[in-house]
Amino acid sequence: MYKIVAKRELAPTVKLFEISAPLVANKAKAGQFIILRIDEKGERVPFTIADWSREKGTVTIVILEVGKTTRQLGAMKEGDHVLNFVGPLGKPAEIENYGTTVCVGGGVGIACIYPEVRALKAAGNRVVSIIGARSKNLLIFEEEIRKFSDEFYIATDDGSKGHRGFVSDILQTLINTNKHIDRVITVGPPIMMKVIANLTRPYGIRTVASLNPIMVDGTGMCGSCRVIVGGETKFACVDGPEFDAHLVDFDHLIARNRRYVEEEALSLRNYEEATSKCRKL
Ligand SMILES: Cc1cc2nc3c(=O)[nH]c(=O)nc-3n(C[C@H](O)[C@H](O)[C@H](O)COP(=O)(O)OP(=O)(O)OC[C@H]3O[C@@H](n4cnc5c(N)ncnc54)[C@H](O)[C@@H]3O)c2cc1C
Ligand code: FES
């Protein structure tokens, strides 16, 4: 059992959990993820390792509540335990001194890009960070990312903070003003990563995206996380989750992520009914 040693609400539907998992904390690297299961009836769900402490033996994950499992997790408290916490999984991010690296994070992807921003800065890069969310109350890890960035930009869809619009607008402006960019790393909703990849492709700027297909085993055996990269089938859990964004078939990823929409809606409905009955009793 893995104890939740700390929990913090970062935004109305975004929760941070620090979980005691010394073996995972000991090996964790930027770009990797874990798969957890709340209890013996729970589904296996992947979350990026947002931070870790080898001294305390803890791993930090940040969760956006979208469906049944993330809602259930969001309702858990400090002192509660999750049954399984497997990791670190996936290949670590490639961290080298590339020169100027632009890190683009959207939504909960902001938390996922944080360890990469920190590692890229430590490797000597000039780090330009662009983070974006629908509204300012959904912006997370702002101060943490700003601390390790040479330049820092915010975009919100509604203009409540920073640039009114998308993270890609800011990247386009940087390119238009002839800012030299050696590499772009992007984590966020697939549509956002697709837009970023389409933007940088004509300029030949090496761009890496962290993919989030539906995963089950996380070991390359079930085939659930199949993605197409450069016309070849890859398994995001073992070959990724980071890939050359210019080669990723994002439309295929988006379509595959919608394949259980009905089951997911039913599962959430059942969970909401069960929890509202409990509240009434
Ligand atoms: C490598 C990786 C890292 C991730 N890191 C984070 C993170 O740090 N924070 C975070 O909030 N989310 C992260 N996700 C997505 C997260 O796993 C899903 O949001 C979660 O599984 C949804 O479960 P649910 O039961 O709450 O929702 P569901 O109702 O099951 O699904 C809601 C939506 O989430 C997606 N989803 C469902 N199951 C999975 C699954 N097993 N794997 C991936 N996506 C799924 C689907 O697109 C679906 O539309 C990551 C996914 C991957 C693959
Ligand atoms: S999650 Fe099963 S092969 Fe990747």
Mean pLDDT, residues 270-278 taken together:
82
Mean pLDDT, residues 86-115 taken together:
95
pLDDT at 279 over 80: no
Which of 98, 38, 97, 29 shows the shortest CA–CA distance to 59? 29
How far is 189 from 186, CA to CA, in rounded Å?
A: 10
DSSP string, 131-174: EEESSGGG--SHHHHHHT-SEEEEEETTSSSSEES-HHHHHHHH
Determine what percent of the chain is predicted with pLDDT higher than 90: 90
Q: How confident is the model at residue 280 (pLDDT cuts 50, 70, 90)?
A: low
Q: What is the pLDDT of residue 277?
A: 72
**Could you identify the atom of ligand 2 that is nearest to the CA of residue 223?**
3
**First-to-final CA distance of the chain:** 29
Q: What is the pLDDT of residues 25-44, one digit of tens each?
A: 999 999 999 999 999 999 99
Q: What is the pLDDT of residue 93?
A: 95
* Pocket lining: 235 vs ligand 2, CB cutoff 6 Å: yes
The angle subtended at Cα 216 by Cα 214 and Cα 222, nearest 5°, is 105
Closest ligand to C-alpha of residue 224 is 2
Which range is least confidently modeled, 73-82, 112-121, 221-230, 258-267?
A: 258-267
Mean pLDDT, residues 159-175 taken together:
95
pLDDT at 207 over 90: yes
Q: Are 55 and 5 in contact (CB under 8 A)?
A: no
Give the residue, by CA position, lying nearest to ligand 1 atom 44. Answer: 214
Distance 279 CA to ligand 2 centre (A): 37
Q: What is the pLDDT of residue 200?
A: 97
Q: What is the pLDDT of residue 273?
A: 87
How far is 102 from 93, CA to CA, in rounded Å?
A: 14
Mean pLDDT, residues 134-161 taken together:
95
**263 three-state secondary structure:** helix
Task: Pull the structure tokens for residue 127.
Answer: 């780090």
* Pocket lining: 129 vs ligand 1, CB cutoff 6 Å: no
- Looking at every residue in the chain, the average pLDDT score rounds to 94
Task: Pull the structure tokens for residue 80.
Answer: 């509660």
State the burial class of residue 248 (Cβ atoms within 10 Å of its Cβ: 0-12, 13-18, 19+): buried
Cβ partners under 8 Å of residue 222, min gap 6 = 216
State residue 233 phi and psi, 5-degree precision.
-80, 130
* Pocket lining: 218 vs ligand 2, CB cutoff 6 Å: yes
Q: What is the pLDDT of residue 274?
A: 86
* Pocket lining: 191 vs ligand 1, CB cutoff 6 Å: no
Q: What is the pLDDT of residue 239?
A: 97
Backbone dihedral region for residue 29 (phi beyond 0: left; psi -120 to 50: alpha; all else: beta)? beta
